């Protein structure tokens, strides 16, 4: 399929945003399905032009994809770009053009405009600021270039063909449910929370999910501080928390990068009467879990594969493929990745995709 064909399809009427985006693990039946024409496929264009359902691992016509993300000044963000590049290297039909990571929204806007001028086949964009990058993403979509929005949402859903998200609210729920399970029957247990940047919606979502999950077992957040996703910020916030709370049973730390500083503060304070749950899924925290002698008992995954998944989906879009394990003949509008809990029981399963803080 050519980029021209995709653009012709993209400019046809677009249906409404899909309500869910979980990718199914496999087919539920081996019986052949009767084909049915779908005039409204929930995506761009007429599904009558759609190609076969298949796997993103199948080799097709080369797809040129522009990729832009913030600067790799954080372990998770560095892993995002590394995973995207690794995916492209493993797929001979992906020509990935990676813009230099930047936290300057004007520079990132310029990068996307360059992709548009170069007439790439698709753009995968993790915006430093979703609202600030919305207009240029809309410009790309109007030019017939499908945009895959990763992690930080645009302010207009029409600015992307596909959105790939982690589950921030689900992270809080997973962390809270694990703590509830470990503290079952301890109604007076003291639970603390070390959040990220409070002004960010993702932090607010994580905290809300955590609060809601704790409420299910009659617990609440007794002590809460906020850090800034950095090692230094985590250490300062944890030191303040430990000074304010002489007794703690469990801590949820939102981010494993700042968790390096949190552990340093815990060591300095000589405290070990509690257990800690991390957030994001760094190799450092998984190794703490594996050691069996750390306060870190678990971490909740926030996948660093999101951009790589976005590139896989962009490849399918341009090659006019669908997800082989879905009955739907188009790539979904929204894919939200799960937030599982990693413990000593399953840490070996998740270590291969862990990132270094």
> Domain map of the chain by residue range?
3-164+304-326, 168-302+340-353
For the stretch 301-345, pLDDT in tens is: 999 999 999 999 999 999 999 888 888 889 999 999 999 999 999
The pLDDT of residue 52: 53
**Residue of 333, 332, 335, 307 lying closest to 53 (CA atoms):** 332
Cα–Cα distance for residue pair 9/144, rounded to 1 Å: 8
Superfamily of domain covering 3-164+304-326: Response regulator (3.40.50.2300)
Q: What share of the chain has pLDDT > 90, as a percent?
A: 78
pTM higher than 0.85: no
What is the torsional sign of CA 312, 313, 316, 321? positive
Instruction: Identify the pLDDT of residue 3.
Output: 43
Please, which pLDDT band fits residue 9 given cuts at 50, 70 and 90?
A: very low
Q: Do domains 3-164+304-326 and 168-302+340-353 have the same CATH topology?
A: yes
Give φ, ψ of 320 to 5 degrees: 60, 40
User: Per the CATH hierarchy, to which homologous superfamily does domain 168-302+340-353 belong?
Assistant: Response regulator (3.40.50.2300)
- pLDDT-derived band of residue 8, with 50, 70 and 90 as boundaries? very low
As a whole number, the mean pLDDT across the chain is 87
Confidence of residue 148 (pLDDT cuts 50, 70, 90): very high
Query: Residue for token digits 């000044």?
Result: 73
Helices (H), 192-282: 201-216, 231-244, 256-269
pLDDT digits (tens, 9 = 90+) for 88-109: 999 999 999 999 999 999 999 9
- For 151-208, the pLDDT digits (tens) are 999 999 999 999 999 999 999 999 999 999 999 999 899 999 999 999 888 999 999 9
């Amino acid at each position: 399929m050519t980029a021209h064909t995709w653009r012709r399809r993209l400019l046809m009427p677009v249906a409404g945003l899909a309500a869910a985006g979980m990718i199914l693990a496999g087919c539920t039946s081996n019986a052949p399905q009767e084909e049915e024409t779908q005039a409204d496929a929930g995506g761009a264009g007429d599904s009558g032009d759609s190609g076969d359902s298949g796997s993103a691992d199948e080799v097709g016509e080369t797809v040129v994809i522009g990729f832009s993300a913030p600067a790799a000044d954080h372990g998770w963000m560095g892993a995002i770009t590394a995973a995207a590049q690794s995916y492209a290297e493993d797929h001979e039909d992906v020509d990935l053009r990676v813009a230099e990571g930047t936290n300057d929204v004007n520079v990132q806007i310029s990068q996307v405009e360059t992709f548009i001028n170069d007439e790439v086949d698709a753009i995968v964009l993790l915006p430093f600021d979703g609202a600030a990058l919305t207009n240029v993403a809309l410009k790309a979509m109007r030019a017939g270039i499908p945009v895959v929005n990763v992690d930080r949402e645009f302010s207009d859903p029409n600015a992307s063909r596909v959105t790939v998200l982690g589950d921030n609210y689900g992270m809080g729920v997973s962390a809270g449910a694990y703590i509830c399970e470990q503290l079952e029957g301890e109604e007076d247990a003291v639970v603390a929370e070390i959040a990220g940047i409070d002004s960010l919606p993702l932090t607010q979502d994580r905290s809300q999910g955590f609060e809601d999950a704790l409420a299910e077992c009659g617990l609440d957040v007794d002590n809460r501080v906020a850090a800034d996703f950095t090692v230094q910020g985590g250490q300062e916030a944890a030191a303040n928390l430990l000074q304010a709370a002489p007794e703690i049973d469990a801590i949820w730390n939102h981010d494993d990068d700042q968790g390096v500083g949190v552990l340093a503060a815990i060591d300095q304070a000589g405290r070990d009467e509690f257990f800690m749950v991390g957030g994001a899924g760094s190799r450092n925290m998984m190794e703490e879990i594996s050691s069996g002698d750390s306060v870190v008992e678990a971490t909740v995954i926030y996948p660093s594969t999101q951009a790589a998944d976005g590139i896989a989906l962009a490849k399918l879009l341009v090659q006019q493929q669908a997800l082989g394990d879905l009955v739907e003949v188009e790539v979904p509008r929204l894919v939200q990745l799960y937030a599982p809990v990693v413990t000593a029981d399953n840490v070996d399963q998740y270590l291969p995709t862990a990132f270094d803080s």
